Structure 1
Amino acid sequence: MGRVEKIEAIRARRVENALKTEALETHLADLETGLLSLEKARADLLARIGHERGEHLAALGPVVRELIDKVALERAALNRALARLRRMTINIGVVGRARQGKSRFLQSLTGLTNREIPDGSGGFCTGVPSTIRHFDGHTYADVYYHSERSFVDEVLGPYYDKYGLGARPVSARAFGVEPLPALPADRASMATAVSAYGHLRDYHTTFSAYGNLIGHSSPERVGDDMIRGFVAQDDLDGKPQHTFRAVRHVEISTKFKQSDLTGIAVIDLPGLGDTNLGDSRVLLAALKDDVDLVLFVRRPNPEGDDIHEFDVELYGIAQSALPEIAMERRAFMILNHRESVDQDNLAGAKAFQAGLGKSVIRVAGSYIADCSKTDEVIAAFDPIVDYLVDNLESLDEAIITERVRRVAEIDQEVRLLTGQSPVVPQFAHLGDVSENKFDDLFDQTYDNLAGAVVQLVDKFRADRDAPDSALAKAVAAVIKRVKEGDGIPTVDEITRRRNRGGAFAGAFSDLMEETRAYLSRQFLELEDALNATVGHMWEQLATVLREDGEFRHLSEKEGREFLREMSGLIGLVRSDGSSEIRYALDVVAGFGLSYRGFFQHRIRPCLDGMSADHEGTYTPRGAQTPQSIRESLQVAYDEAVYQCENALSGLVSEPNGAVFAIVEEFCDRVLRSRGASREWERIYRRYRSEIWSDEFDALAADTVRLQMWNEAIERLKAML
């Protein structure tokens, strides 16, 4: 199998491994959610019972929070592993201090020139990390700009945080227009601080040259002749340029010198060696997320060299980025051989190479090559690629194995946590407390309600034979009105009626019927008094239920409407769906006393003497005149009024008797019928939180808190 085929096979296996690793990340995401829910439930419970009684809960706090932090860190590590497995290329990160030959090495390897990969010999020229991949076509680059957030967090933030410059700018724009904070006095004498502050000042003074590109739509594709303008700190003539400050990274596609490097990419990282704080961060981030193998480039001094502290520091940065894999399995070193007329560092390079084995720096291999010569670079790079292709699967496996191990450790810690998180003692018997509280409140309230209903029945019983005062007043008013305003026509009106009809007999008959209709109409108004009597009963019964029964919390309505609404709130209180209480409420709310049903059949016989066809109707005798007809009408009218008054006088106590009967019936249904007390208990149980909110709100809240705690524990257990 050739190199290209091996690379394709690696990519296919990475896709499979990514699917397996995604399952781990999903599992951790669920665990994190579960732990956060548990911590919230723990804090809520602790706030309820206090630290003194909640020692167990308080002690669990640091354990839960530490575990949440571990899960978050492991999720970040898993996401880095997933980014590695999902990449379309195998990446080799080229790392080195400034002026060591890193850029020359990349030029020789990729065929790019100083136009695309700056190699300034007099200073730090590469300003942006660049990924260069083999591509069989014309060279181009995709430019990715900083967002407002990434520019503040990744570029500016490290300076503000490390050197005490105050709060970070709220935005890139704010940084550009506001004065730069002065370096604190205690840092002003520190050379490194002054140098670093100089870099930050450069970003500030040149902001107008690049600030408009921050937040620019990404990626922006540019041709090979424009690449340098986005990655270099100066142009080909050495003139400073600042566009690179707004660029986060660049991806360059070009045709490498070797055609079998499809799927291989090299990452050109900014050279380290001064106080530009962003470079170390960029290097570490790239080594964590984007690099499969590290390639150090080092140019030993021709006058003699050794492994210095800065070499170990750079090695340490690379090592810390991916501690799961030993550096001797994932790192190589190129020693740049530079030969000139008067100097040659070959001997120094060999000595440096020999000294690697005696130092803390461990690499899989090292090669000496002139980075400016393509053939030597390719000769050194080929075995590195072969090693990577042959070993990458085991390197990936090492990362995945470590992640699986860490997830298993976290799972075990969660098991231990859930094992030591039983029901909180103070809340262990909330159900019993709630039931006992309900029983006490129900017994007291039911006694009050039953007593009030019985008292109301007794009150209506005492009044059932007494005249209804409202009705008596209404009857007296009607009788007075019909006596004072009899509705009998005048002599002139009688004369006109006779003239129109032609005979006194016909006029008398018609006028008698009209007078009777007038009298009958007056008594219809007694219905208002009857309604008032029933309404008063509804009000008193509703008051008993609202106040003594404490149902005022369920409805703001009054009287009949309250009774109707109460009926609708009864719910299921018997297995067959029936309810004596609901039936009683419906009956009493539907009860009514009407004139037509209560008095009309008593009044109509009293009016028979005013009917022309009735045998007992009074008729005038002798010669008929308008005056005699009027007198006859008056006699009949007065007699009818007298009889009505006598009839009504014996009826004014009957509404009280009817009201008493319906109230007593209500009492029998809601207190005396079989199973009624059980119905009341179920009604009160259903609405206990509304009826006794002060007593049950705290218990309900505690119950919810305990339920949330138990559910959080059970959810975590189910995930393991």
Structure 2
Amino acid sequence: MGDNEERLDAVLRRRHELLPVVDEQIDRWRRILQLTTELGDAVAGTQAVDPGGDIAERLGALDLAGMARAARDSLDALATVRGRVNRGTVNIGVSGRARNGKSTLLQSLSGLDDQQIPSGRGQPVTAVRSRIYHSRTERGARLTMHTERSFLDEVIAPYHAELGLGPAPRDLSAFSRHSYPGVADGPDGRDADQPRLGPMLARVREAQQALASYREFLTGGTRTEDLAGIRQWVAYPEADAEPDRRPYLAVRDAQITCAFPIEDVTALGLVDLPGLGELTPGAEAHHLAGLRNDIDFAITVKRPTDTNAMWAEEDARALQLIGSACEVADPRDFALILVNTGECLAENIEALHSDLRNRLNDPAQGRGYWVILADGADRDAVREQILKPVLEHLASVLPRMDEAVIADTVAVCRDRLDRITAELDRVSSAVRALSVPTSTEQTIARAESLRAEVAASLQEWVDELRTRADNEYEDTEFYERVAEVHQAVRDWVLSGFGEGAEEWQQRALNRFRVDRASLPFASAELNRIRVEMARRFAAVDDLLLQRRNEYWAGLVAALGPRFAALIDGRDTGPQEAITALAAVLRDAPDPCPALAETFGFALDVRLDYRTRVLPRLRRALDVLFPEDDDPGSGSTATTLLAVPRTAEGSAELYGRVTQLARQAAYDAQAVLAQEPRTTAQVLFAYGEQFEDAFVRSDSSEAEFRRLVAAFHDLLWPGEGTGPHAAAEGLRRVRRLTTELRGSIADERSRTVGERKGR
């Protein structure tokens, strides 16, 4: 193992040891950012519920957004460190404007050729930026493909934003149909933007026209390619190629592995940085991101041609980007300028070299940017004059640069912790100065308010029930229903009990002859008529059940919308609603069994025909019994039923039975006429008992408090303002403040620098 290889491998081992520590610190800072964001939201929400009040005024002076920015600053710094320590290779980035020999240099450094790293004259040919890794045993390319969504978001959307074309299409079908303009005027519509934006518009239109050639590859997966066929995936089409075939557009990332032409290093990577000066959206931002996150050293390529022999503004901008990407390290340790001398005139080379020596680098200081003159296409010269010196340089400076990056990140994190802590002290001071009711006090007040509100509403409902139970109240609907049922029964009787008078009399005569007696038929017939009349009078049951449903509906309405919210305002009948309320109270986190039992009592109203009416109506039908029920009375079968066994006798029996049935119907109607008042009195008693038990039982007060504590958000949904909302907001602010202090204390005791030193 060569000396450089051993020293660089040691750098990578030290970095790897720091990765778990950095990940832990990132997790802690993510928690801090989450808490600062939540705290900002809580403060803003609390201000909103007290517009113009003391709370809004005091909290309005706080800089919660600054706390979140400080947390993001630390995460950004830690992300840079993580990108550095997570790399398993020492990465050299190659930067430069198009047509200066960047791709050619990458070929010389890696040993690849135009089929893997395209280069050429005229327009740029590199379509996908690649990362190239040295391996003595592996050779191939691993392509990470775009998904349809990432392609539209990362490739097409930036063009739309830069060209002022509005939102990018949301799917590929919409992209294929999108109508792009013929001329690029830019967002402000000025023709002056055309020279810059025209090529961008051409690019996006080319992507649309070639969609069929790469659509199938937008899978988000990975694919392995032999290096011999990689060009179509990373380069623009050659002049004689099919113009509508652009598979490179589906590639999100290209990673190439091959053996570099150097012996004393194993873990080396080359990063093809986004070209400067290309007319693609966000080129400079992508360049800066690559400098910060992917590389340890940058080579900026400058080729001194007749029109490019002086150090220009865009070249200075490239060095400024390098400096901003590695602020804590000396850019002179981080980068070199390669004057690519290949096929250049000696006077142009000297002109550029002189410009760099005398203008960019100050000779009086004795220290300037590292400048190397070499032919980027000469692989031997690149290996000996560029790669070996750079690796030797990195073996010496990387440990120092790593220490500087880590120390700066530690300093940034500590500074941001101090800023957050100072603002947190202001938050605590502001909150301490604000006095609001405690949670317990608010629960008690809410429970008292809800209990009084429900008591008043229930009393109004009970008063309505009392009115209906009054002697003067007439249930016209019930009376009309009784009259209707009585008339139906009477019509049935008068119609020959449903079969006609003649038919009934003929059936009676036939039975007389069979039994040689009239009493068996008469007794059977009275029994049949009595049972049938009792059944027919049951038709009033629907109105009785209606009164019970009205009672339940009145109860649900009297409880009010807050109790309705406990069952999510379900569109159910009143009986189901009361059943659901009982279940909610019974199954609450802190159950309310007495209130739930009161609902159970309300459901136990018995107002049906069989329970309420039938017992008394049966007495009215006693006249239809053929004999007295008391065997000790000495009575025999009524003489009314003893008739001659002739046609005249059957007619006489028909008249007598009909008369008895009419009398029974009349008596039954009288019984039913008394029912409305009785029903009203029953419902009034039930309602009065419910209201009394629900509001005034010995456990009512305590259970209302439990109810409010468990279901406050449902009982008072969407409460956006008022003392309660302000108090809840301040409690959340206090809780988040405490959590944030704990996270800050944890972070202060565990930093990258301290863990590294232990």
TM-score exceeds 0.5: yes
1:511 to 521, 526, 530: 521
1:381-420 matched pairs, under 5 angstroms: 381-420=387-426
Map residues 512-531 of structure 1 onto 2, 5 A cutoff: 512-521=522-531, 523-525=533-535, 527-528=537-538, 531=541
Name the aligned partner's letter for residue 390 of structure 2.
I
CA distance in 2, matches of 1:209, 1:491: 99
CA distance, structure 1, for counterparts of residue 654 and residue 524 of structure 2 = 13
Cross-structure match for 2:636? 616
State the alpha-carbon separation in 2 of the partners of residues 127 and 36 from structure 1. 42
Q: Indicate yes or no: 2:674 matched with 1:666.
A: no
Does residue 439 of structure 1 match 2:470?
A: no
C-alpha distance in structure 2 between counterparts of 1:670 and 1:119, whole Å = 91
Does the C-alpha gap of structure 1 residues 667 and 349 become closer, same or farther in structure 2, counting only changes over 3 Å? closer
User: Matches of residues 566-581 of structure 1 in structure 2 within 5 Å?
Assistant: 571=586, 581=598
Structure 2 Cα separation of the partners of residues 340 and 667 of structure 1: 105
Distance 1:559 1:209 in 2: 64
Quote the Cα distance in structure 2 between the aligned partners of 1:719 and 1:4: 41
Corresponding residue SS for 2:92: strand
Contact kept? 2:339, 2:374, Cα under 8 Å: yes
The answer as to whether partners of 2:585 and 2:593 remain within 8 angstroms in 1 is: no
Deviations 1:602-637 (A, max 9, x none): 754773548999733345999966378569858985
Q: 1:263 to 1:441 in 2, by over 3 A?
A: closer
Deviations 1:2-25 (A, max 9, x none): 443444443333333233222333
Tell me how far apart the structure 2 counterparts of residues 537 and 241 of structure 1 sit (CA, whole Å): 79
Which residue is equivalent to 2:5?
4
Aligned to 1:85: 85
CA distance in 2, matches of 1:648, 1:273: 104
In the alignment, what sits opposite 1:178? 181
Identical columns (%)? 17
The Cα of 1:90 is off from its aligned counterpart by 0.9
Residue identity opposite 2:384 in structure 1: I
Q: Secondary structure at the match of 1:294?
A: strand
Quick one: which of 307, 326, 330 aligns to 1:326? 330
Whether the 8 Å contact between 2:70 and 2:419 is mirrored in structure 1 is: no
**Which entry has the higher C-alpha Rg, 1 or 2?**
1
Deviation digits for residues 197-242 of structure 1 (CA, Å, limit 9, x no counterpart):
686588589879988777766767354597599559989x9xx999
Q: 1:684 to 1:359 in 2, by over 3 A?
A: farther
2:424 & 2:223 partners in 1: Cα distance?
47
Superposition deviation, residue 64 in structure 1: 3.0
2:78 paired with 1:64 = no
Distance 1:211 1:286, change over 3 A: farther
CA contact (8 A) 1:338 1:344 kept: no
Identify the residue that residue 428 of structure 1 maps to in structure 2.
Answer: 436
Matching residue's letter, 2:331: M
- Equivalent of 2:57 in 51, 55, 58: 55
TM-score by length of 2: 0.69
CA 1:507–1:394 in structure 2 vs 1: closer, same or farther (change >3 Å)? farther
- The C-alpha deviation readout for 1:82-111, integer Å capped at 9, x for no partner, is 333333321122445678776676565555
* 1:26 maps to 2:30: no
Indicate conservation of the 8 Å contact 2:115/2:227, yes or no: no
Secondary structure of 2:295's partner?
coil
Hey, what's the Cα distance between the residues in 2 that align with 1:282 and 1:4? Answer: 30
> What is the root-mean-square deviation in Å for CA atoms of aligned residues?
6.1
CA distance in 2 between counterparts of 1:341 and 1:661 reads 117
Counterpart AA for 1:428? V
Larger RCO: Structure 1 or Structure 2 (Cα < 8 Å, ≥ 6 residues apart)?
2
Question: Counterpart in 1 of 2:514?
Answer: 500
Cα deviation for residue 460 of structure 1 reads 3.2
State the shift of 1:507 in Å.
1.4
Partner of 2:270: helix, strand, or coil? Answer: strand
Moved more, 312-321 or 554-563: 554-563
Separation in 2 of the partners of 1:479 and 1:227? 99
**CA distance in 1: counterparts of 2:692 and 2:276, whole angstroms:** 94
Instruction: Write the deviation string for residues 529-565 of structure 1: whole angstroms up to 9, x where unpaired.
Output: 7747855763674465355554797487778777767
The whole-number CA distance in structure 2 between the counterparts of 1:651 and 1:286 is 97
Structure 2 gaps, min length 5: 170-174, 745-758
Q: What is the CA deviation profile of residues 381-427 of structure 1, one whole-angstrom value per residue up to 9, with x for unaligned ones?
A: 43431231244244233323333333343344333444433559899
| Partner residue, 1:538 | 548
Offset, 1:500: 3.1
Give the Cα separation in 2 of the matches to 1:478 and 1:301: 116
Once residues 552 and 257 of structure 1 are traced to their aligned partners in structure 2, the CA distance between those partners, rounded to angstroms, is 79
- Inter-partner Cα distance in structure 1 for 2:97 and 2:489: 120
Distance 1:479 1:208 in 2: 85
Q: Which runs of 5+ in 1 are unaligned?
A: none
Structure 1: how far apart are the matches of 2:719 and 2:229?
77
Q: Which amino acid aligns with 1:257?
A: P
**Matched position secondary structure for 1:259:** coil
- Counterpart of 1:284 in structure 2 is 288
> Residue 17 of structure 1 corresponds to which residue in structure 2?
18
State the TM-score, normalized to the length of structure 1: 0.71
CA change 1:153–1:10 in 2 (3 A) is farther
- The 2-side partners of 1:357 and 1:434 are apart by 75
Distance verdict in 2 for CA 1:470–1:693, change over 3 Å? farther
Aligned residue type for 2:426: Q
CA contact (8 A) 2:607 2:679 kept: no
Query: Residue 294 of structure 1 aligns with which residue?
Result: 298
Equivalenced residues, count: 699
Q: What is the alpha-carbon distance in structure 2 between the residues aligned to residue 220 and residue 447 of structure 1?
A: 77
Q: CA deviation at 1:319?
A: 0.7
Answer yes or no: is the 8 Å Cα contact 1:195–1:275 preserved in 2.
no
Structure 2 residue matching 1:49: 3-state secondary structure: coil
Aligned to 1:600: 618
How much has 1:322 moved relative to structure 2?
Answer: 1.7
Looking at structure 2, the residues matched to 710 and 264 of structure 1 have their Cα atoms a distance apart, in angstroms, of 51
